[in-house]
Structure 1
Amino acid sequence: MAERVDDLLERGNGWAERIRDRVTHLPPELTELVLHLGQAGTFWDWHYKVDATWKRQTKALLKTDGARELVTEAIRALAADGSLHDCTDPNVTRQDLWAKSDRTPTRDLANGFALAAGYLARGASPAELEDLVADLLTVARKNAFVLDGYYKRDDDLSGAVFTALADLSAMEALWTLHREVQPGAHSHRHLAKMVKKTATRIGVPPHQLQERTVLTHGVDADGTLRLGWIGRGAVWLNIPYEALITISDTGRVTVDWTDVDDGGTVTRTTTPFRSPTGFKTKYLSHNVDVTRRLARAIEDTLSAERRRLYALREENRLWPYAEWARYYRDHPLTGIVARALIWEYETGPGSWTAGLPHPAGCLTLDGRTHALTGTTCVRLWNPTRAKPAQVAEVRGFLAAREVHQPYDQTSHAT
C-alpha cells in the first residue's frame, strides 16, 4: 500500500516532497485514508460538488487514531512556501502562473486533504481550530491570486478550501476571502455561495450579510486600482497597456490610460470611460474593454452603496466600532460614502457624540479628534433625534470643511 501512496506524490512537487516521509510510513488504517483522499479527482472539478459516498467514507476514516494530526500537517505543508505548485521564482511569468494546471494524482490528493479538513471540527479544541483555519486561509490566498508574489492560481484547490471553511463554519475567514478574492477568479462564484450558505446556517442577519459582502473590485485603501502588464499593477489581471482607476473623495471615478508604446502618454476619461483614440486598434478591443467594464462595475457598486446607506437613515442600527470601521469606514468603496456622513459614537453611557469618521476614531463637531475603542457603539446620525441647534451645527461643520455628502443628512430635520 505504501507504493500506491508514493504513486500519488509527484516527484519534484514541493508539497509532495514536504509530506512524502509523513504519508509513506503509516499504519494500514491511515494509509487507507490517504489513498481514499487521493480519489477526490474522481468527482472534484469546476462544479465544486462533493460526492456523498466519498464524504461519508472520509468521515469514517477520520475517526482513526492519528487521522486528525495527519490532515492538519498536510494542510500546514500546503500553506508553506509556494503551496501546492511551489512557484515562488520571480523569473516565472504571470502567464505561466495563470496557465491551468493539468490534473495529477498530487493535485487530487491536495484537494482531498483540503476537503477532509472541513470535517475536523468535532472534537477539536478552539486553539486547534484556529490554527487549522489560519492555515486554510493561507492556502486559499496563495491559490486564488490574492497575495502579491509568484503563486500559481489553482481554482480547484481554492474551491476545496472554501468548502472546508464553510464546513467548519469559519465565517470570519470567509468574510476575509470574499473581500480579497476578485470576481474574475472562476472559484469566486463558489466562494460567494459558501459565504451565503454558511451565513444562513449560523443565523447571520440578511443586512449583515449584505454589508459584509460588498465587492472591493481590487481597489486599494487609497481609492486606486492600477492595472498593467505582467508584474505591474494587480496580480490577478494583466493588460498590454497601463491604466489607473481612481475614486475621488466625492465618489467620482476616473481612468488614466497610459499608452506605453507612445512615450507613456496619459489620457484621463470619466464615465462612460471611452479609451483614447487608437487604443482599441493598438491594444485590441477585448483588452481595452476589460478596464472599461471594471470602472463601470466600481461605479455600479458605489451607486448601490449610496442607496444602501441612504436607506439606513430610517433604521436605528448599532455597530460595534471595530466592526463598523472594517465594513464601513475602511472599506475601499463603502468608505467613500461612509466617510462623508455624520455618525454618532457612544462616548459614555447614554452619551452620544456626533462627528465625521477619522482614522483615529471620530472628528467631532467642535473640531477635536476623539479616540474610540473596539466595543464603542456607532450609529448613523439622524436629524430627527437632534435638537435644532445641533442640526445647525452639523450644517456649519460640513460647510466649513466642504464635505460633499452622498445625500443631505440635515434635510430630514423637523
Structure 2
Amino acid sequence: MAVLPSVLRRLTSTEQGLREQLDAASRCWTYWPLDQLAWLCREVRRVDGELPGHAVAVARRTVLATYHTSGPLHDVLATVDAPPLSPGEAWADRVLADLPGLGAGWPELVTHALTATSARPSTRWERQARALLDEVGPTAYRETVTGWLGLVGRPRTFPLDRGEYDPDVAHAYDPYNATALRGLVWLLALAADGPADAATARTLGGLVETSLRKVAGIGPRNPKVANAAVWALSRLDGDDALAQLARLATRVTYKGTLKELTAALDRRAEALGLSRAEVEELAVPTYGLTEVGRRVERLGDAEAELTVAAGSVSLTWRTAAGRVVKSPPAAVRRDRPEELRELKAAVKDVEKMLAAQAERLDRQLLGRRSWPYAPWRARYLDHPLVGTLGRRLIWLVDGQPCGFADGALRTLDGEPVTAADDATVTLWHPIGRDVAEVLAWRAWLERHGVVQPFKQAHREVYLLTAAEERTGVYSNRFAAHVLRQHQFHALAAVRGWRNRLRLMVDDEYPPATRELPEWGLRAEFWVEGAGDEYGVDTSESGAYLRVVTDQVRFYPLRAPENLAHAGGGGYEQWVRGGDGPVAPLPLDQVPALVLSEVMRDVDLFVGVASVGNDPTWSDGGPTGRYREYWHSYGFGELSATAETRRDLLARLVPRLAVADRCQVDGRFLRVRGDLREYKIHLGSGNILMSPNDQYLCIVPKQTVEAGPTGVFLPFEGDRMLGVILSKALLLARDTQITDPTITSQIRRR
C-alpha cells in the first residue's frame, strides 16, 4: 500500500543510523522493499538485543498487505519476541498495559483471539474459547473487554507518515490487531451469562458503527469487525442486544453488514413466532423512561431529569433545594460516578434510537403497514420513547384522521377519538387527500405547537405530469442534473436505495435502485459518470467526483437488471439464455403513493447533492464547464421541495425579528439590509445582491440547524431552510457583519 518514503536516508552502518532508519520505517503504514525492512530489523535486533514494538507493527502490516507467508521478513517475525498486539492504537495500547496485571489465562485469551481468521468461529474455536473463559471468569472478561472495545476507533497514539498512495492511516484499523479484535468480540458473546447487559450491547452496537465509518482510501474501516459485532449481538439474549440489532438495521448502509443484520433479525423473528416488523417494534427499550419522554433519577440528594421533546434529549439537574444547575453536583460526581456514567450513556442511547425510529417510521409511509389499535397504542402512542415520535404524527384510525393533543387522540375539530381494540390504524399520507384537509392539518400542527419528526403534513406530493404521460414509461423530471457522486451515494443508502460508486474504468454498472417488495416493484434512477479527465473528474481512487442524472423508471421486482458503461452510453438489460427483456411499467400504472415517494427521494438527491447548491461554484467548476448549469439550477425554477419551503417561509417570515426587512417573492426571499438588498434563492440558498444581481458567496457552516431559536418549524430535517433563515438574519443586519470574506463582497461595487 505504501512506497519507500523520501524521508528515509541511505542505509548507514552506524548503530544510531540503523535505529533512525528503522524508526523512520516504523512510521510507515507499510514499507517496501520487504528485504530492506527485514535487514533493518535484523541489524537493530543484533545491536540492541530486541526489536521495538512499532517496528514489529510495520513488519506485520507489510506482511499482511503483501500476503507473504514466507521470506526474510516473515522469518524475522517468527523469531522475534514480539508483543501480542501491535502498539500504536489506543485500545491495543490499553491491552498491552493491562495484560501483565490481569493474571493467568489472559495472555492465552488474546493469543486465541488472534486466530479469529474465519467468517464465523468454528466449533473447535468456541470449545477452546470457553475453556479459557472459565479460567479468567466470564464476568471479569466482560467488564475488562468492554473497556478495551470502547477505545476502538480513536486516533492512533503513534502517528504514521501518510505516503502518496496510502489511506488515511490515522484512522485506519491496524490489520493485525483487527484479527484480535474480531476474536475478542466473539469471546464477548461466549462470555454472556444470561441476558446481555446494556453496557455490553451498547459497546457492540457502537463498534459496528465505528468499524463502518469511512476512511479516505479504504472505505468502511473494517467490515469484518463490524460483522463480528453483529454476530455477537445475534448470539446475546435480552432486549438490549435485540434493540441494538433493530437500531443498526435502520442506520447501517454497508450492504454486507446490513445483510448480516437482516438475517439476525429474521432469525430472531422466526424464533419468537413474530413478523420482522413486530420484532423491530418490540425491540425498542424504554431506557428507564417511566412516562412518555420523561425519566427522573435520584442520585443522593440531587435529582436528574431526562426529557425527550421534539426530537431532542436533555438532562436537567436539580439540587436538594430544587435549584436547577447546569451540570451534575460535585457530590454526584464524587460519590456516584458509575450511576452518572450510566445516565450519560443512556442519553446518548436515546439520541441514537430516536434517530433510528424516526427513519423507520418515515419508511412506513411506503411500507403499507397497518396495526390493530390496541398493540399500536402500546407500541407507538404510549411507549415511553417511541411515543415522543408517534404523538407528533397524524394517523388514520379506521379511516378517521387524528393527532395527539391535550392528552388524547383528537380529530381536526378537537374531538376525542375512541376506537375498538381491533380497529385498523395506518399512517396518514397527503397523497389522495383533499387540499383543504392537508392545509387544515398544517394549521392544526401550528396551533398545537407540534414539530413532526419528519415531513408528513408538509410532505411533497409528486403527481404524474403531462410530460410523463407523453414519455409513457420513464420520467425526465430530474434528468440533466450534475450531482456530487459521493454525497448522492450516501443519501441513496440512507433512503434505502442500492447504488455502486462509479469508477472511471471500462466497466458496467446498474442504476441506483430501490426495491419495493410490498408493491412488487423496483424503481431505477439512471445516472452516469461526468467528465473524462482522470484526477480532475475523479478522486485519487478513480471514482467519479460527479454524475449526471437521467431517467426514472419502474420495473417488476424480479425483472432483469439494467446495466450501462460507467461513463454513459445507454442502459440495457442483461437477460439469461433465450429470455427476452422486460419492459418498464407505464407510469400511469404505478400506484400514486409509490410514484410520489420515489420522486420525492430523487428530488432529495438532486436538491442536496447538486453542484448548483455549492456557493463556491459560481465559476462553473473545472474549466467552467458547469457554469450554465450552476446558474440555471442555483437561481432557476423551484422544485417541489423548494415550493414547500416557500409556502412555509411565507408563514414564518412575519414572525422573524427582521420581518420588516424580509419578503417572500417568487423564487426568492428578499432581504433589505442597510448596505444592499439581497435575494436568497429558496432552492439552492444562493444569493444575489442589488444592483445588477451581483453574486454573494456565503459558505454556511456544516452545523447549521433547521432554524434559529424562537422560530417555530413544524417539522425536522430541512437543513436548507435553516441555511436560508440564517442568511436572512445575517444580511438584514449587514452593517454588523465582521467576516472579511463577506464584507469585501458587499462593499465591492
2:141 aligned partner, one-letter code: L
Change (3 A) 1:85 1:167: farther
Equivalent of residue 103 in structure 1, options 175, 186, 207? 175
Where does residue 82 of structure 1 map in the other structure?
153
Question: CA deviation digits over 1:206-251, x for unaligned, max 9?
Answer: 44147789xxxxxxxxxxxxxxxxxxxxxxxxxxxxxxxxxxxxxx
Deviation for aligned residue 1:83: 4.8
Q: What amino acid is the match of 1:156?
A: K
Shift, 1:26, TM fit: 4.0
Residue of structure 2 equivalent to 1:161: 229
* Offset from partner CA, 1:103-158 (integer Å, 9 cap, x none): 31x211111111111122225xx6x7222112222222222239xxxx97221111
Q: Does 1:138 align with 2:206?
A: yes
Could you tell me how far 1:199 is from its partner in structure 2?
A: 3.0
Structure 1 Cα separation of the partners of residues 150 and 260 of structure 2: 21
Q: Is the Cα–Cα contact under 8 Å of residues 212 and 327 in structure 1 kept in the other structure?
A: no
Q: Give CA deviations for 1:264-299 in whole Å, capped at 9, x if unaligned.
A: xxxxxxxxxxxxxxxxxxxxxxxxxxxxxxxxxxxx
Distance 1:322 1:4, change over 3 A: farther
- Check whether the contact 2:402–2:410 (CA below 8 A) recurs between aligned residues: yes
* Residues 9-408 of structure 1 mapped to structure 2, 5 A cutoff: 9-41=85-117, 43=118, 48-80=119-151, 82-83=153-154, 96=168, 103-104=175-176, 106-122=177-193, 129-145=197-213, 153-169=221-237, 170-182=241-253, 184-209=254-279, 305-306=365-366, 308-309=368-369, 312=370, 318-323=375-380, 330=389, 339=393, 341-343=395-397, 355-357=401-403, 364-368=410-414, 380-381=424-425, 400-401=440-441
- Secondary structure of 1:186's counterpart equals helix
Deviation string 1:185-220 (CA, Å, 9 cap, x unpaired) is 53221222222223333444344147789xxxxxxx
Distance 2:236 2:168 in 1: 33
- Asked if the contact 1:343–1:379 (Cα under 8 Å) also holds between the matched residues in 2, the reply is yes
Higher relative contact order (CA 8 A, sep 6+): 1
Q: Is the partner of 1:342 in helix, strand or coil?
A: strand
C-alpha offsets along residues 280-325 of structure 1, whole Å, 9 cap, x if unaligned?
Answer: xxxxxxxxxxxxxxxxxxxxx989853613xx38x56622455467
TM-score normalised by L of structure 1: 0.51
Change in Cα spacing, 1:178 to 1:304, as seen in structure 2 (3 Å) is: closer
1-side partners of 2:99 and 2:144: how far apart? 10
Give unpaired runs (5+ residues) of structure 1: 214-300, 345-353, 371-376, 383-393, 409-414
User: Does the 8 Å CA contact 2:88/2:157 hold for their aligned counterparts?
Assistant: no
CA distance in 1, matches of 2:440, 2:158: 53
Q: 1:329–1:26: structure 2 CA closer, same or farther, 3 Å change rule? A: closer
* Letter of the structure 2 residue corresponding to residue 154 of structure 1: N
Unpaired runs of 5+ residues, structure 2, are 1-78, 284-360, 427-433, 443-456, 462-590, 594-749
3-state DSSP of counterpart to 2:114: helix
Measured in 1, the distance between the counterparts of 2:190 and 2:257 equals 21
Which residue in 2 is equivalent to 1:7?
83
The answer on whether the counterparts of 1:40 and 1:108 sit within 8 Å (CA) in structure 2 is yes
The answer to whether the 8 Å contact 1:6/1:20 transfers is no
**Residue type matched to 2:175 in 1?**
R
Q: 399-408 vs 53-62, which deviates more?
A: 399-408
Q: 1:145/1:380 Cα in 2 relative to 1: closer, same or farther (>3 Å)? A: farther
Whether contact under 8 Å (1:159, 1:190) holds in the other structure is yes
Residue 262 of structure 2 aligns to a residue whose secondary structure is: helix
The letter for the 1-side match of 2:97 is D
Q: Which moved more, 1:152-161 or 1:398-407?
A: 398-407
Which amino acid in the other structure matches residue 103 of structure 1?
Answer: P
Q: 1:56 to 1:205 in 2, by over 3 A?
A: same
Partner of 2:549: none
What is the rounded CA distance, in whole Å, between the counterparts of 1:302 and 1:380 in structure 2?
A: 19
Q: Distance in 1 between matches of 2:156 and 2:397?
A: 47
Quick check: 1:166–1:174 contact (8 Å CA) kept in 2? yes
CA distance in 2, matches of 1:5, 1:191: 40
> Using a 3 Å threshold, how does the CA distance of structure 1 residues 178 and 87 change in structure 2: closer, same or farther?
farther
| CA shift digits 1:31-78 (9 cap, x unpaired) | 32221122112x2xxxx3222210122122211244532343223222
Residue 14 of structure 1 contacts residue 84 of structure 1 at CA under 8 Å; is this kept in 2? Answer: yes
How far apart are the structure 1 equivalents of 2:260 and 2:408? Answer: 38
The Cα shift of 1:173 comes to 1.0
Amino acid at match of 1:56: R
User: 3-state SS of the aligned residue for 2:221?
Assistant: coil
Percentage of identical aligned residues: 17
Provide the rounded CA distance (Å) in 1 between the counterparts of 2:397 and 2:159.
Answer: 45
Q: How many residue pairs were aligned?
A: 272
Given that 1:133 and 1:173 are in contact with CA atoms closer than 8 Å, whether structure 2 keeps it comes out as yes
Paired with 2:127 and 2:146, the residues of 1 have a C-alpha distance of 20
